[in-house]
A and B are shown apart, each in its own frame.
Chain A
Amino acid sequence: YIVTIRVKPDHSGVVTDGVKHSMNPFCEIAVEEAVKLKEKKFIKEVVAVSCGPTQVTETIRTALAMGCDRGIHVEVSGKDYEAMGPLQIAKIFAALAKKEEASLVILGKQAIDDDCNQTGQMTAALLDWPQGTFASEVTIDGEKVKVVREIDGGLETIKISMPAVLTADLRLNTPRYATLPNIMKAKKKKIANMKPADLGVDMVSRVEVLRVDEPPTRLAGVKVETVDDLVAKLKANGTI
């Protein structure tokens, strides 16, 4: 969605009330990969999970419409939701992965609102499972997963055993549009509801946000005619 993000007047965060939310794009890619693996018969069942207030069920339903079999909504609202960060979510995911006896946990590499890039890695660490992050290609080979990772230096290929945690990067796949018949079918699929306490997870945050500010407004620049002018100006304002 194209929304204008505004900082709250008390600088404690950004305004989320009344702002239209949607599935994180990297999570869409993760859902698509999971559904693809099921279509190729490598996995039996795909469970879509999301943590947050009631509106989150709309996003879970979109995942169901893309082909997931059932959903789990872990209800977190109010102050707990505002303080919720990667560590709390990772604890919830780890607890669920054990409870559901999952062979794979697939997430988006990061959320585009906070850009943390921590949840997948923390989940793997809490479970003591291998992780294949920034995946641009995933192949299941018996009890192992071959993951091609996008790293700064290029591409890295690793082989990890299952159960494992994978995080999806941009080029892993192109998510499908939910078809109309699947949207209808999604209505009948179940979304279970639970609270973090049901999973034995404490939501206390170890991080305190002190202040949120908008980036400084970009000031107008000055055009110069020659490189000599540029050097002179940079010297004059103390940059060099």
Chain B
Amino acid sequence: MAALFKAGKALGLCVSGCRSLSSLAELPEMHQMMRQTCRDYADRELGPIAGKLDKEHLFPAQQVRELGAMGVMAVEVPEALGGAGMDYLAYSLAVEEISRGCGSTGCVVSVNNSLYIGPILKFGTQKQKEQWITPFTTGEKVGCFALSEPGNGSDAGAASTLARQEGEEWVLNGTKAWITNSWDASATVIFATTDKSLKHKGISAFLVPMPHPGLSLGKKEDKLGIRATSTANLILEDCRIPLGNMLGSRGSGFKIAMQTLDSGRIGIASQALGIAQAALDCAADYAHKRTAFGAPIGKLQAVQFKLADMAVAVESARLLTWKAAMLKDAKKPFTKEAAMAKLAASEAATFCGHQSIQVLGGMGYVTDMPAERHYRDARITEIYEGTSEIQRLVIAGQLLKEYAS
């Protein structure tokens, strides 16, 4: 076994249990194949319709089913539960490639995998996993994650949604805001306060099927980007669920939310990478074809500098994302790296979206070219699953811990 490790490292291959820096340069064969399959799917099935999905705010139901059949809607879920049984690095690659084809579809994939299935896989009982994960691996059903409220986003500890016990049921009351997939979901992981006096240690997580009596949806938000996903409020009015629908132990909701978001950050970083790469592809292709001053504009240093800056931003964010995913797969702490990845990738996405329009000039401003859609899709990645400001706090917190004497 030791000899295998040595040989693996020397050849830059990835032997299981031996994630070394060398594999950052060249992905293992299985991951390359998986990445290529997702890229082919994104190029052939998502790219051609992404503009239409965005313009008409259409949820890509058929594509989600096809992705489910491929295993992309449940990458990390063990095969016994209906998933693909792959690792987080594979998941990150899948989300990036899907997002490159369509940012909205990438978002649906990410939310289902990281935010809905993620916490149930980690904190659920075997029965809960079979009931709430398996039907959501095929793409027939998607889930959502309800933490934010009208009164608190970044301030997640101040959850004002309440849950009280009445006999054999929990009764939930309150409103959740900005819930992605809300109008298309068949279940939600939702956070409510069970013990107000314990502050953030009094929050618990629950599983609620959708639709369900006592749970209604607010109006679909009209968003700047990722318009093929539905975002709305979840309104709970004496919503009754069996006691067995509590996820994890009482009072562990905040911990569940924070750990879920840690992993979710890698998913969003991957989505941002896909959007950034699509913007870069668009700009680089245009630079070859568009002529001005007697030559393709790619010959002009001003354009070259932009493309170079975009490429560096994307590649460095990608390596941060891969590193965070590999640390998670190796069961090592990855909170700081995940936050760094999300911060870098989302800022790379908005940077590339902006510069891509600039390279295209007037063409970048109209809907004939996808540059304006990438610009709009990129913007949300700096906000949801932890704003860039929160990411900086997380990174600084982890960093200072390392230096504490």
Contact = CB atoms under 8 A, between A and B. Distances in A.
B71 A181 contact: yes
Interface string A173-211: 000011111011011000000000000000000000000
A184 B37 contact: no
A27 B372 CA distance: 38
29 contacts: A58-B33, A61-B29, A62-B33, A62-B36, A65-B33, A177-B41, A177-B66, A177-B70, A178-B70, A179-B69, A179-B84, A180-B34, A180-B37, A180-B71, A180-B72, A180-B75, A180-B86, A180-B90, A181-B71, A181-B79, A181-B85, A183-B30, A183-B33, A183-B37, A184-B30, A184-B85, A184-B86, A186-B33, A187-B29
A184 B84 contact: yes
Contacts of B221: none
Q: Which of A58, A178, A183 has most B Cβ within 10 Å?
A: A183
A56 B69 CA distance: 27
Nearest to B82: A181
A65 B30 CA distance: 10
A181 to B, nearest CB: 5
B33 A181 contact: no
Nearest to B86: A180
The CB with the most chain B CB atoms within 10 A, among A61, A180, A181, A187, is that of A180
Interface in B33-69: 33-34, 36-37, 40-41, 66, 69
A187 B90 CA distance: 15
Contact of A180 (B40, B66, B70): B70
A187 B14 CA distance: 13
A184 B90 CA distance: 11
Given A62-B33, A183-B34, A187-B30, A177 B85 contact: no
Nearest to A66: B37
B84 A180 contact: yes
Contacts of B69: 179
A179 B86 CA distance: 12
A187 B29 CA distance: 9
Contacts of A186: 33
* B contact residues, range: 20 to 34
Nearest to B69: A179
Interface residues of A, number: 13
B344 to A, nearest CB: 27
Contacts of A183: 30, 33-34, 37
Contacts of B85: 181, 184
Interface in B259-301: none
Given A178-B70, A181-B79, A184-B85, 18 more contacts: A58-B29, A61-B33, A62-B33, A62-B36, A177-B37, A177-B41, A177-B66, A179-B69, A179-B71, A180-B37, A180-B90, A180-B94, A181-B84, A181-B85, A183-B33, A184-B30, A184-B84, A184-B86
B90 to A, nearest CB: 7
Shortest 3 CB-CB contacts between residues of A and residues of B = A180-B71, A180-B84, A179-B70
Interface string B9-42: 0000000000000000000011001101100110
Contacts of B94: 180
Contacts of B84: 179-181, 184
A61 B28 CA distance: 13
Contacts of A65: 33, 37
Interface string A36-61: 00000000000000000000001001
Nearest to B68: A179
B30 to A, nearest CB: 6
A186 B32 CA distance: 13
Q: Which of A177, A178, A187 has the most CB of B within 10 A?
A: A177
A179 B38 CA distance: 9
Contacts of A184: 30, 84-86
Contacts of B33: 58, 61-62, 65, 178, 183, 186
Nearest to B90: A180
B378 to A, nearest CB: 24
Nearest to B79: A181
B137 to A, nearest CB: 11
Contacts of A177: 37, 40-41, 66, 70
A177 B75 CA distance: 15
A64 B84 CA distance: 16
Contacts of A179: 69-71, 84
Interface in A132-190: 177-181, 183-184, 186-187
Contacts of B86: 180, 184
Contacts of A181: 71, 79, 84-85
A22 B90 CA distance: 21
Interface string B83-100: 011100010001000000
A68 to B, nearest CB: 14
A180 B79 CA distance: 10
